Structure 1
């Protein structure tokens, strides 16, 4: 029996204790319910490995065939080491911006699309608790955030520590802060409904890390006992999505995951079995991973990208230049991608999707000018209901 199946079975045995923790949920009965969608935010508090180790000691250890923990290799990532100071400031500024938008829009919940903690996730240690406090609890504590439920999802940076990191986010953190919602079974895949006065929306969360063949190479920092096990049993999550959508009579059906099937950087075609189910039910895909805001439309399916709550990267949205007819909106230019979020106003007749793009004004100039950044820079409406 694979480690993923064993872990799932163990989680089910522990479900009675996990479900004792009651996470906050969105209010029920509204004619229109507004949710904020964003991800790729958790930079604050990450301390990279020192240059001396990364540049001098690490190569010698590797040459000596000494096994280096994935976490340590990842904490030497030269790009992320370069980003960290700006990324921390940008997460803070964007958190304030999201708070302003959500106050204006009266957001009732956050739908997270993963990468909650850069660069190597968190686990059940003092260090993990301190990171959770700094990068999430205190970062999103004021104003409208104080009682806002977050429907959570894992990203690749969240699984670097393996099963220990996954368990910490899915099983432990809901006890630490009741806004952090990972369902009642403590699993990385789960489902929840948002219910209005005369409508229902079903969301299915999956861990897309399990599907990527690139993470199964032993050179990948995401290659560990957790991803090995769940990759062998991707059918568990495919069947979960298929069964949940088939049994749901909801007006709207969403797949919530981290990696993009449609992208201006890398199309993750390993996710095709999931996307085929979404298309069959006239569903909607919510994802992050690409550090920008975008809208794609393919095979009668809307793909909503909202990965711009931390360190934006123009290349992830091809500097704002659509590569084909599928890219309908990309919040990037040759200077930068813009920070921001997506809001969805859900009702019985439609979903109004709005992209709030932050004016990227800094001391050296305005890298992505937005004249009125508390109004949507782009929006579209979905009226075709799910089946």
Structure 2
């Protein structure tokens, strides 16, 4: 079937309907399987709006009662405008770095914790399709990435375009590039298993954007049609997580979300109903949102922050200074946070998380020195198997 016909068919589905399964086959059978985990990477290809529009025309339009979309507001963000040059450089270099590490470690798949496209996501427009290719499909290429499944999640920047942007990532993107995976139902939440020779790991993806109270304020750029609707029914995703873990006899259980429940920046306590289920099942949480890498432990649960694949921000990891006993490692110092990602080695006995921080040389300076960045800067292992609540 021609591409445009397939897209038309997908767009014709009701929002509650299931699209046909795509061709993804999860890697399985290995005694130890390695996956790469990364997030907050999608800067390449974004062009901020002209400064004159943001500083002058936008104010006149709003004063005249013109309704300005969330996308236009977000694409005038002054902080992101300032970051775009370095962010694009760092994402590109980090993508090459991930490829080098994953060639060495033989990564079988990749796990995203969201913010796949800054500043305002992508949708089914010419610009959105260009961004999809420039910022992801043509960025993550090479032996380490080719034919490897990416188990995706949504972040707050991915929902700025509203339901149209969510539909693009969950329903259309898997048809454009079948490495991009959002479950067989193509919903923002789903579950999948990775299976080894004598173990299984159950992952559940939840869209944490739906839980954040601040996104319900009319002044928030994330207060879109999609997030308003899904906030009214967060119980659906809570029940989905509970049921998915309850049905699973897996050796390991992992929740994959964007926002951090435990953080050096912002603790999103609205996520507590999800965390209760994780604790009951002795699970692990992987997330992004904060633009750095860290390991936290709280209430006997490990939290893996891996948000350093694009624009790293030292403040998100409190400039490398732990707050309280929960921060076990922070990938930052007083001046810079590390670019990088996390690998997860799964076998029957352990989940081993290795944090790879890139030696960040830029314009003659070394912003985050790492003596040997082909070795992990930090690692920890989980040895207690998941339970069944």
- TM-score (norm. length: structure 2): 0.95
Q: Tell me how far apart the structure 1 counterparts of residues 21 and 206 of structure 2 sit (CA, whole Å).
A: 23
For residue 266 of structure 1, report the CA deviation from its aligned partner: 0.4
Matched, 1:327 2:331: no
Q: Distance in 1 between matches of 2:26 and 2:87?
A: 30
Q: What is the 5 A alignment of 1:1-387? A: 10-13=14-17, 15=18, 18-23=19-24, 25-387=25-387
For 1:206 and 1:289, the matched residues in 2 are separated by 14
Q: Which shifted more, 302-311 or 26-35?
A: 26-35
Q: Does the CA-based 8 Å contact 2:21-2:185 persist in structure 1?
A: no
1:100-135 per-residue CA deviation (whole Å, 9 max, x = no partner) reads: 010111000101000000000000111111100100
SS of the residue 1:146 aligns to: coil
Report Cα offsets for 1:277-334 as digits up to 9, x if no partner: 1011100000000000000000000000000000000000000100110000001112
Question: Relative to structure 2, which stretch is displaced further, 54-63 or 332-341?
Answer: 54-63
CA contact (8 A) 1:36 1:343 kept: yes
- CA distance, structure 2, for counterparts of residue 363 and residue 28 of structure 1: 43
* Shift of residue 364, structure 1, vs aligned partner: 4.1
Partner Cα separation in structure 1 for residue 126 and residue 57 of structure 2? 26
- Distance in 2 (CA, whole Å) between partners of 1:20 and 1:277 is 28
TM-score by length of 1: 0.95
Structure 1 SS opposite 2:243:
helix
SS of the aligned residue for 1:22 comes to coil
Return the offset for 1:20: 4.1
Task: Quote the residue 2:4 is aligned against.
Answer: none
SS at match of 2:323: coil
Q: Is the 8 A contact 1:351 1:382 kept in 2?
A: yes
Q: Helix, strand or coil: the match of 1:143?
A: coil
Aligned 8 A contact 1:34 1:106 in 2: yes
Cα contact 1:11–1:186 (8 A) shared by 2? no
Report the secondary structure of 2:191's partner residue.
Answer: strand
Once the two structures are superposed, what CA deviation does each residue of 1:11-55 show, in whole Å capped at 9, x if it has no partner?
A: 442x1xx224323x3321100000111110010000111000000
Aligned-partner Cα distance in 2 for 1:65–1:103: 54
Q: Partners in 2 of 1:105 and 1:99 — Cα distance?
A: 10
SS at structure 2 position matched to 1:367: strand
Q: Name the CA distance, whole Å, in 2 between partners of 1:130 and 1:187.
A: 23
Please state whether the residue corresponding to 2:145 is helix, strand or coil. Answer: helix
For 2:369 and 2:26, the matched residues in 1 are separated by 34
**Aligned to 2:368, what secondary structure does the other structure show?**
coil
CA distances 1:216-237 after superposition (whole Å, capped 9, x unpaired): 0000000011000000000000
- The alignment partner of 1:145 has SS state of coil
Cα RMSD for the two superposed structures: 1.2
1:315 and 1:100 map into 2 onto residues whose CA distance is 28
The secondary structure found in structure 1 opposite 2:166 is: helix
- Give a deviation string over 1:235-294, Cα, whole Å, max 9, x none: 000000001111110010000000000000000011111011101110000000000000
Q: CA deviation at 1:365?
A: 2.0
Structure 2 SS opposite 1:302 = strand
Shift of 1:144: 1.1
Matches of 1:247 and 1:42, distance apart in 2 = 34
Structure-2 separation of matches of 1:20 and 1:309: 29
User: More displaced, 360-369 or 35-44?
Assistant: 360-369
Please state how far the C-alpha of 1:360 moved relative to its aligned partner.
1.4
SS of the residue corresponding to residue 111 of structure 2 reads: strand
Following the alignment from structure 2 to structure 1, what is the Cα–Cα distance between the partners of residues 169 and 240? 20
Contact conserved, 2:120 with 2:160, CA < 8 A, in 1?
A: yes
Using the TM superposition, give the Cα deviation of residue 63 of structure 1 relative to its aligned residue in structure 2, in angstroms.
2.4
CA distance in structure 2 between the partners assigned to 1:166 and 1:264 by the alignment: 28
CA shift for structure 1 position 335: 1.4
Confirm or deny: 8 A CA contact 1:115 1:154 kept in the other structure.
Answer: yes
